[in-house]
Structure 1
Amino acid sequence: MTDKHIDREVLSVLREVMEDGYPELLDTFLADSENRLLELRETADAKVLSEVAHSFKGSAGNMGAVRLAELCQRLESDAKGNSPAQIAKLVAEISSEFAQVRPEYEYERQDALTQ
């Protein structure tokens, strides 16, 4: 099932492929996402913003975080052409989206550990 935020099919395939490594994969995604969010909030350099957004987009896409990947794509594409206020708004949207999906990934992790 795909909702607007998470493609559950991607998670299902990852769980199957990763087996016992699945919880660690989720831990890594959550920790990396926190670090990338911090970088996005703390930099004003358009090139760095674009690079971090590109990296974040890739990991979000790989983990089925569809909306998060879309927002990161927008930041990656628009980092050089947007005003600081527009960039701040997009970073806030990315942060908000991650806050929304994070509990789902934490639940997935707990669920995988109890299987």
Structure 2
Amino acid sequence: MLDHKFIEKIREYGGKKALAEIVDLYFADQVQLLEHIREALAASDTARLRDRAHALKGCSINLGAVEIGSLCEKIERLSAAGELREAAALVDQLEFEASAVRHELQLELSK
């Protein structure tokens, strides 16, 4: 789920407003990147799938969503190997985890 140390550091250095801005940007990026990942799978576009999974991995890890980062890394490897069926199964997990992280981040913002 979420490594709360990352959130606390952002809150400590930037305050509640900075955290809210970063989380809002992350939510927008996460939704868009998940959509692009699904589109790439549907089109069997392994390069785009790998690229979008990599982008989601980076922004997620920076916010403490390490499980999303781990899933994205696996999707990157599978897409590089052309194993789209296996990648698709992980995308289902990724979307579940993304939903859980969004919920956790919303709770963090209410503190």
Number of residue-to-residue matches in the alignment = 107
| Aligned-pair CA distance for 1:82 | 4.1
> Do 2:10 and 2:18's aligned partners in 1 also have CA atoms closer than 8 Å?
no
> Do 2:6 and 2:63's aligned partners in 1 also have CA atoms closer than 8 Å?
yes
Task: Specify the alignment match of 1:67 in structure 2.
Answer: 67
Task: Specify the alignment match of 1:30 in structure 2.
Answer: 27
| Aligned-pair CA distance for 1:100 | 1.5
Task: Specify the alignment match of 1:47 in structure 2.
Answer: 47
Structure 1's unaligned 5+ residue stretches are: none
> Do 2:68 and 2:97's aligned partners in 1 also have CA atoms closer than 8 Å?
yes
| Aligned-pair CA distance for 1:80 | 2.2
What TM-score results when the alignment is normalised by the length of structure 1? 0.86
Residues in 2 aligned to 1:18 and 1:103: alpha-carbon distance in whole angstroms:
21
Shift >6 Å, 4+ stretches: none
Q: Paired residue for 2:12, among 8, 13, 16?
A: 16
CA root-mean-square deviation: 1.2
Residues in 1 aligned to 2:62 and 2:13: alpha-carbon distance in whole angstroms:
13
- Return the letter of the residue paired with 2:38: R
Residues in 2 aligned to 1:59 and 1:52: alpha-carbon distance in whole angstroms:
11
Residues in 1 aligned to 2:77 and 2:83: alpha-carbon distance in whole angstroms:
13
What TM-score results when the alignment is normalised by the length of structure 2? 0.89
Deviations 1:63-94 (A, max 9, x none): 00011110011111221214332121111111
> Do 1:6 and 1:65's aligned partners in 2 also have CA atoms closer than 8 Å?
yes
